[in-house]
Amino acid sequence: MGDLPRRRGAEDRVSAVAALRSASGRSRLAPDAEVTTANVAEYYASPETVELVAGLLVDLGFEVTGKGPLGVGFAGPRALFERVFGGGTGGKTDGGTGAKTDGGTEGKPGPAFSLPACLRPYVERVTLTGGVRLFQGDEPTGGDRSANDRLPTKE
3-state secondary structure of 75: strand
pLDDT digits (tens, 9 = 90+) for 29-58: 999 999 999 999 999 999 999 999 999 999
pTM: 0.66
Choice between 98 and 89, residue whose per-residue pLDDT is larger:
89
What average pLDDT does range 147-153 have in this prediction?
41
pLDDT digits (tens, 9 = 90+) for 100-148: 333 334 444 445 678 999 999 999 999 888 654 433 343 444 444 343 3
Choice between 113 and 77, residue whose per-residue pLDDT is larger:
77
CB 60 within 8 A of CB 116: yes
3-state secondary structure of 53: helix
> What's the per-residue H, E or C state across 93-145?
ECCCCCCECCCCCCCCCCCCCCCCCCCCCCEEEEEEECCCCCCCCCCCCCCCC
Q: What is the longest distance spanned by two Cα atoms in the chain?
A: 47
Choice between 113 and 7, residue whose per-residue pLDDT is larger:
113
| CA dist 19 → 28, 88, 150 (Å) | 9, 20, 10
Q: What is the pLDDT of residue 153?
A: 43
Whether the pLDDT of residue 67 is over 70: the answer is yes
> Could you state, in order of their start, the residue ranges of all structural domains in the chain?
13-152
